[in-house]
């Protein structure tokens, strides 16, 4: 089989096309990318950053899953907040989507604790809040009828009141059980259980995003990758275009976006539809990666430049040090999973082990 694949690879050599060499790159960049020296802010401020991670080990009857998040605060010294848990989840087609929602909840709760308990001036989020809002609801499973019938102000109020008391972990399992949001006993149909969990987790995530956006003047979303191509309208992402054709420090034209354009919400609609995001790309150091930055409010050009200079104060090799450290700290490796399973005394046979007999 490998020989035939090698032949296919030779036949398809060069099938990933580059931008046509006749393209006038200068005209494409004109008035959209500006080489600019980026200094460092002299102001005194506190700043934090966070990231999350999950990993899973597949067994014959179930999945052993670990999820965690961490926030790192710098206010003259480094401080940390973390939250994590281990789950036993049966085989469902939307497992990654479910774990991604769990991870987002842990990330957002760590973020809220940093903003409330430490009163940081800025909080850097790895990823895109705008993207989260535009893809806010589950795609891997249908909305259970019991949740649809109970998705009202009283359910949202229940989440909010419990969030004020409990600032860690997942809230929705207790709400699911206390409000009897499942038609079947949990042991009878694991798929119904996890479909319910997926949708309740997405509701909890949206409520947390709304809470985070109460601090929107402090929030900075930063991405190293993005599929967005609204700036240049090429069939490749804007960030890839900029990485290829620019090398100096600089910034793009500042754009303003509305989450509501592509994502109407069944709750908190009035809040979300009024949100405006300031979106731009920046390179903090010559010959380093371009970053996509989103601010969840309409920022002036002066505010954007001041925030860039503040980000640059604690950046190393063109990337915010705190974000990089949070990512490295929180990643759950396969080796970590083996250690966790050993501690938990889990010794079930995996599919791969069966195949090796």
Question: Which pLDDT value is given to residue 112?
Answer: 96
Instruction: Give the per-residue pLDDT at 261.
Output: 59
227 close to 5: Cβ distance less than 8 angstroms:
no
pLDDT at 289: 95
Token pair in block for residue 23:
């393209």
Which residues of the chain fall below pLDDT 70?
Answer: 1-3, 5-7, 10-23, 184-190, 260-264, 348-357
pLDDT of residue 119: 95
- Which pLDDT belongs to residue 355? 33
* pLDDT at 354 (0 to 100): 41
Centroid of chain to Cα 350? 30
pLDDT value, residue 262: 56
Q: Where are the domains of the chain?
A: 34-355
- The whole-number pLDDT of residue 158 equals 93
Q: What are the DSSP calls for 134-198, one per residue?
A: HT-S-SSSPPPHHHHHH-SHHHHHHHHHHHHH--SS--HHHHHHHTT--SS-TTT-HHHHHHHHH
How high is the pLDDT of residue 329? Answer: 95
Under the phi-then-psi rule, with left for phi > 0, alpha for psi from -120 to 50, and beta for the rest, what region is 87? Answer: beta
* pTM, rounded to two decimals: 0.89
């Amino acid at each position: 089989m490998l020989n035939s694949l090698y032949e296919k690879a030779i036949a398809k050599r060069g099938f990933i096309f580059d931008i046509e060499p006749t393209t006038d790159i200068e005209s494409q960049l004109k008035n959209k990318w500006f080489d600019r020296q980026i200094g460092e802010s002299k102001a005194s401020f506190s700043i934090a950053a966070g990231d999350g991670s999950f990993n899973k080990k597949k067994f014959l009857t179930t999945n052993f899953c670990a999820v965690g998040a961490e926030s790192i605060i710098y206010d003259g010294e480094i401080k940390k907040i973390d939250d994590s848990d281990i789950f036993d989840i049966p085989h469902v087609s939307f497992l990654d989507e479910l774990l991604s929602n769990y991870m987002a909840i842990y990330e957002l709760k760590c973020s809220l604790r940093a903003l409330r308990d430490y009163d940081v001036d800025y909080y850097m989020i790895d990823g895109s809040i705008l993207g989260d809002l535009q893809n806010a609801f589950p795609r891997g499973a249908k909305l259970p009828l019991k949740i649809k019938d109970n998705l009202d102000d009283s359910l949202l109020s229940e989440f909010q009141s419990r969030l004020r008391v409990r600032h860690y972990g997942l809230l929705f399992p207790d709400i699911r059980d206390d409000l009897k949001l499942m038609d079947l006993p949990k042991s009878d149909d694991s798929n119904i259980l996890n479909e319910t969990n997926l949708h309740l987790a997405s509701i909890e995530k949206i409520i947390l995003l709304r809470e985070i956006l109460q601090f929107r003047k402090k929030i900075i979303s930063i991405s190293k990758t993005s599929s967005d191509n609204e700036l240049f309208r090429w069939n490749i992402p804007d960030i890839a275009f900029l990485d290829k054709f620019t090398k100096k420090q600089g910034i793009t034209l500042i754009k303003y976006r509305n989450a509501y354009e592509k994502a109407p919400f069944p709750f908190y609609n009035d809040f979300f539809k009024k949100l405006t995001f300031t979106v731009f790309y920046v390179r903090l150091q010559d010959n380093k990666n371009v970053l996509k930055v989103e601010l969840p409010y309409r920022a002036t050009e002066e505010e954007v430049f001041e925030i860039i200079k503040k980000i640059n104060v604690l950046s190393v090799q063109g990337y915010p040090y705190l974000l990089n450290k949070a990512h490295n700290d929180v990643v759950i490796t396969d080796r970590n999973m083996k250690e966790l399973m050993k501690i938990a005394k889990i010794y079930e046979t995996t599919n791969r082990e069966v195949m090796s007999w």
